[in-house]
A and B are shown apart, each in its own frame.
Chain A
Amino acid sequence: MIRFSAVSKRYPGGYEALRGVTLEIGDGEMVAVTGHSGAGKSTLLKLAAGLERASNGSVVVNGQNLGALGETALAILRRRIGFVFQDHKLLFDRNAFENVALPLRIAGFPAAEAARRVRAALDKVGLLAREKTRPVALSGGEQQRLCIARAIVNRPSLLVADEPTGNLDADYARSILDLFISFHQVGVTVLLSTHDEAALERLACRRVALASGVLAP
């Protein structure tokens, strides 16, 4: 599903977030990336989801070398990958339904089909009753769920989540983790980052440790 070969990422200004990362994640696998903040977790996830490009090395997702894709092809590939952002990236001038519908609108889905999928996604994360609510009126955990609903509305085969339990209390974090476990159980490849030991225990999946941009052996 995902193959990193000697991947490095250097940001403008010279900061090197990843160095020579080689990693393979199989179809339907669930992998947790661990490490301190600044270790390069977010960069690795963004490279896997085609949100950023590697400076060196190759990233292959679903058999496609992301470095070889043009901007438009890369954008279209992103539609098949669900991404749960650390800072949610919700639009505060629209309600929950409209936020989740955004990827489907962009892909040009017929309205009726889109509405059905949006409601299914909201139902999955337990927010169906709040479809008319704007993100400001939602709690942090609910916003996180809304972001997950938007990530899965396109029914992606790869779901990437950056610190999905970051600022949540233990109970809420557990229910979010259970959501990811349930996606994994139906065959979705899940790649997430966390630095929370309790979360890792609950997920009970393969771990990949990053330290200063380098994979720990």
Chain B
Amino acid sequence: MRTWIRLHAMALRDAAGRLLGQPFAAGFSILVLAMVLALPVLAAVALRSAAAVASRVDTDPHVNVFLALDASEEDARRVGQALKAQPAVSSVRFVPRAEAFEELRKTTHLGELLASLDRNPLPDAYTVRVASADPAALAALRDAWSKLPKVDRVAADGDWAARLAAWIRFARTLTAAGGAFLALAVAFMVAHLIRLQVATRRDEVEVSRLVGATAADVRRPFLWFGLLEGALAGALAAAFVALAGAWLQAQMQVLAPSYGIELQAFSLAIREAAVVAAVAAALGWAGARIAVQRELKSVSAGR
């Protein structure tokens, strides 16, 4: 056990020494790896932020049914009964035109303009909540309601939120697929770097084998090298994401209030950064393992 720890400590020191021994080459490859890793992480963070926004928006589908301006109280009552008759409808609220006018005057800056009007331009309306979120069912209801007498227009306000949620689901799938793809790319890039390393250390590998190194002994420093390179690239990627997040957040801060949305923190927690670094380290290790396995075969075949 002591020997095992010592062997790993020596391999780690060897790997670290090799990284520090060629700071430019090592730094450059770590930078490239970090940029590749940062892409999916940044996408995931942006999506999380967008998903948080979408979940706070009321996605409970509701439909506004606007009556014609010349609709009488009797007409309104008949439409209301028709709406309530639908089993899919969970609630129906009548918004009289006077109330709508008052609300518009209070919540917007249109007071002066509204005061200059000689009559209320708003129609009576119903706000209908629908229990089902199924878009097809919703569309069928809208269609049926727009054909009711004295109904002018049917508008579903929740549509954009539902569409946003669908887009976020799609983007998540895309990010997962892209992330897996880029993770593979990182492993193969590390494999390539390690392959070059093995090539330059071929003499050492060969002599080590001759004086009693096992395959594991030969692999060890390369695996540590891949692991270190991956971990450093992962940490750097997390830093990139934090920087990009801070910059994007500043941009979004301008955009968000116009949608009445408050943005969630657009960044990585320390623990998440650690996870990114750990995953990257594992990828580096795997890449090194692939490369060394292949190269070792060619060394022992030459013996």
Known: A51-B303, A108-B6. Is A78-B212 also a contact (CB below 8 A)? yes
Cβ contacts under 8 Å, A76 to chain B: 212, 214
Taking the closest CB of chain B, its distance from the CB of A118, in whole angstroms, is: 13
Beta-carbon contact of A72 and B203 below 8 Å: no
B265 interface hit (Cβ, 8 Å): no
Residue of B4, B207, B216, B300 near A102 (CB, 8 A) is B207
B104 interface hit (Cβ, 8 Å): no
A142 interface hit (Cβ, 8 Å): no
Binds B, one of A26-34, A83-91, A173-181, A205-213: A83-91
A103 interface hit (Cβ, 8 Å): yes
| Closest A residue by C-beta to B216 | A72
Encoded as 1 (CB less than 8 Å from any B CB) or 0, chain A from 89 to 121 comes to 111110000000011011110100000000000
| Closest A residue by C-beta to B14 | A105
Cβ contacts under 8 Å, A106 to chain B: 208, 211-213, 217
Q: Could you tell me the distance between the alpha carbons of A77 and B217 in the complex, rounded to whole angstroms? A: 14
A79 interface hit (Cβ, 8 Å): yes
Could you tell me which residues of chain B, from 161 to 215, have a CB within 8 Å of some CB in chain A?
A: 203-204, 206-215
Cβ contacts under 8 Å, A52 to chain B: 303
Cβ contacts under 8 Å, B204 to chain A: 91, 93
Residue of B7, B203, B211, B216 near A79 (CB, 8 A) is B211
Taking the closest CB of chain B, its distance from the CB of A99, in whole angstroms, is: 9
A-B pair number, CB within 8 angstroms: 55
B3 interface hit (Cβ, 8 Å): yes
Q: Could you tell me the distance between the alpha carbons of A68 and B227 in the complex, rounded to whole angstroms? A: 35
Q: Could you tell me the distance between the alpha carbons of A75 and B219 in the complex, rounded to whole angstroms? A: 14
Q: Could you tell me the distance between the alpha carbons of A78 and B143 in the complex, rounded to whole angstroms? A: 85
Beta-carbon contact of A83 and B210 below 8 Å: yes
Beta-carbon contact of B212 and A75 below 8 Å: yes
Secondary structure at the B interface, as helix, strand, loop or mixed, is helix
Cβ contacts under 8 Å, B203 to chain A: 91-92
A41 interface hit (Cβ, 8 Å): no
Beta-carbon contact of B303 and A79 below 8 Å: no
Known: A91-B203, A91-B204, A108-B6. Is A103-B211 also a contact (CB below 8 A)? yes
Encoded as 1 (CB less than 8 Å from any A CB) or 0, chain B from 3 to 21 comes to 1101100100000000000
Cβ contacts under 8 Å, B207 to chain A: 89-91, 102
A71 interface hit (Cβ, 8 Å): yes
Could you tell me which residues of chain B, from 39 to 70, have a CB within 8 Å of some CB in chain A?
A: none
Taking the closest CB of chain B, its distance from the CB of A71, in whole angstroms, is: 6
A150 interface hit (Cβ, 8 Å): yes
| Closest A residue by C-beta to B200 | A93
Beta-carbon contact of A72 and B215 below 8 Å: yes
Report which B residues bind A (CB closer than 8 A): 3-4, 6-7, 10, 203-204, 206-217, 300, 303
In the complex, 14 of the A-B residue pairs with CB atoms within 8 angstroms, ordered by the A residue number, are: A72-B214, A75-B209, A75-B214, A75-B217, A76-B212, A79-B212, A83-B211, A89-B210, A91-B207, A105-B10, A106-B212, A106-B217, A107-B212, A108-B3
Known: A51-B303, A75-B212. 8 other contacts (CB 8 A): A71-B214, A71-B215, A75-B209, A75-B215, A89-B206, A90-B207, A91-B204, A106-B213
